């Protein structure tokens, strides 16, 4: 059973920045997050011991069970909202490095669309924990060759993960906790409708709640307002469109759900640390 805990200790893992976390690996006990987490990397998670990690990932509840491996583009807001795993491994690969791997288009498209890869429990690989431990040590090494070997092996593991997961549906959570279930339903509604004009009342009504009740329930789990989460989800889509298309900035704003161009520029620059056009140039492999 997942331990549905909302602990202040989780603040130690928060990082509200969209900037890359850098090429790094580590292991430890997962902590429930008090806010959605974003960074511009390919992130790999491996549950080594204990039970299950439950993420809200871009609005979709995703379970990563014992022995399972997950890979996703971490610029999409993701939040660990429940956990019974006692040890997990993490690897961050900067976005530019990930793009430079030349992975199959179907795999890149899935990841950049905000859909994680998660291995099935039956596909758990016994050697993964030792490999992740080795990769973390190699990535922390001052020896360039060790770091390069680790990167090659991580890339190969992602490709192997994709063989068994691309095209498969994402396993979703259907737990019994009423607050978590209501918030998951609101987050899913946002994920499905963020491109449209949405009000807090609309989101609450979609799960048959009054907004005055929905707002504190949402904050209890997500540790942010419904409005702030909606803006984060729209910004995640804007970053994806800036990287994967040549749409004009104005079209990116409207297709991401922003009704005001000026509001889009303000929100994007405040969150990402640079205007949309600069973000696009920064992630253009030929620039």
pTM: 0.64
Let me know: does 242 contact 280? Beta carbons within 8 Å. yes
pLDDT at 256: 94
As a whole number of angstroms, the longest Cα–Cα distance in the chain is: 58
Report domain extents, the chain.
Answer: 8-165, 178-282
Neighbours of 226 (CB within 10 A): 24
Architecture of the domain defined by 178-282: Orthogonal Bundle (1.10)
Secondary structure percentages of the chain, helix, strand, coil, to 5: 50, 20, 35
pLDDT at 173: 47
Residues 6+ apart with CB under 8 A from 210: 204
What is the residue-level pLDDT of the chain in tens, covering all 287 positions? Answer: 333 332 333 333 333 345 677 899 999 999 998 877 778 789 999 999 999 999 887 667 888 999 999 999 887 778 898 899 999 999 999 877 887 787 887 787 678 767 788 998 888 889 999 999 999 999 999 999 999 999 999 999 999 998 877 555 555 545 556 887 788 788 778 878 999 999 999 999 999 999 999 999 988 877 789 998 899 889 878 988 888 889 999 999 999 999 999 999 999 999 888 999 999 988 775 55
Query: Cα separation of 169 and 194, whole Å?
Result: 21
At the topology level, CATH places domain 8-165 in Jelly Rolls (2.60.120)
Q: Would you state the structure tokens that stand for residue 93, as one six-digit string?
A: 């690969």
Let me know: does 22 contact 74? Beta carbons within 8 Å. no
């Amino acid at each position: 059973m997942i331990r549905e805990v909302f602990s202040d200790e989780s603040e130690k893992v928060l990082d509200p920045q969209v900037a890359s976390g850098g090429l790094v690996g580590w292991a430890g006990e997962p902590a429930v997050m008090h806010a959605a987490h974003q960074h511009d990397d390919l992130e790999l998670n491996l549950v080594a011991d204990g039970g299950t990690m439950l993420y809200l990932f871009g609005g979709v509840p995703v379970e990563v069970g014992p022995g399972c491996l997950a890979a996703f583009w971490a610029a999409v807001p993701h939040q660990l909202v429940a956990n019974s795993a006692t040890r997990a491994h993490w690897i961050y690969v900067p976005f530019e490095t990930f793009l430079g791997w030349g992975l199959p288009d179907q795999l890149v498209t899935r990841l950049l669309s905000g859909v994680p890869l998660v291995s099935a429990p039956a596909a758990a690989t016994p050697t993964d924990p030792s490999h992740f431990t080795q990769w973390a040590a190699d990535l922390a090494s001052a020896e360039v060759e060790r770091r390069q070997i680790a990167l090659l092996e991580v890339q190969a593991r992602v490709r192997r993960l994709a063989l068994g997961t691309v095209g498969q549906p994402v396993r979703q959570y259907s737990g019994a906790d009423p607050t978590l279930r209501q918030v998951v339903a609101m987050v899913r509604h946002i994920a499905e409708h963020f491109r449209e004009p949405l009000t807090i009342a609309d989101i609450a009504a979609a799960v048959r709640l009054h907004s005055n009740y929905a707002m504190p329930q949402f904050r209890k789990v997500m540790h942010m307002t419904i409005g702030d989460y909606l803006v984060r989800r729209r910004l995640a889509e804007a970053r994806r469109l800036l990287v994967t298309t040549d749409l004009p900035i104005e079209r990116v704003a409207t297709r991401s759900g922003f009704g005001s161009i000026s509001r889009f520029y303000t929100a994007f620059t405040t969150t990402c640390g640079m205007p949309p056009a600069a973000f696009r140039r920064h992630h253009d492999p030929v620039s």
